[in-house]
Amino acid sequence: SSAAMSSEAPTRVLVTGGSGYLGQFLIDRLLQTGKHTVAATYMNKKEGMCDGVDAFRMNLASEGDILACLSSFSPDVVVNLAAISSPAACGKDTAASASINTPSPLLSAMSSAAPHALLIQLSTDQVFDGASPVYTETSPTRPVNAYGEQKLAFEREIQQRWPHSLILRSSLIIGPPPPPGPPDRGE
Q: What pLDDT does 145 receive?
A: 97
Residues 6+ apart with CB under 8 A from 133: none
Q: Which CATH class is domain 11-170?
A: alpha beta
Query: Tens digit of pLDDT for each residue in 131-174?
Result: 988 999 899 999 999 999 999 999 999 999 999 999 999 998 98
Query: Tens digit of pLDDT for each residue in 39-82?
Result: 999 887 666 676 778 899 999 999 999 999 999 999 999 999 99
Cα–Cα dist 48/29, whole Å: 14
Q: What pLDDT does 33 receive?
A: 93
Residues 6+ apart with CB under 8 A from 166: 118, 119, 120, 121
SS3 136: coil
Return the domain boundaries, the chain: 11-170
Say if residues 55 and 39 touch (Cβ distance below 8 Å): yes
The bridge status of strand 36-42 relative to strand 118-124 is: unpaired
Nearest Cα residue to 180 out of 30, 44, 50, 17: 50
Beta partners for residue 165, in sequence order: 119
Query: Tens digit of pLDDT for each residue in 74-133?
Result: 999 999 999 999 999 999 999 999 999 999 999 999 999 999 999 999 999 999 999 988
| The pLDDT of residue 186 is above 70 | no
The upper half-sphere exposure of residue 151, i.e. CA atoms within 13 Å in the direction of its Cβ, equals 30
Say if residues 158 and 175 touch (Cβ distance below 8 Å): no
Phi–psi pair at 133, nearest 5 degrees? -70, -25
Average pLDDT, integer, range 21-36? 93
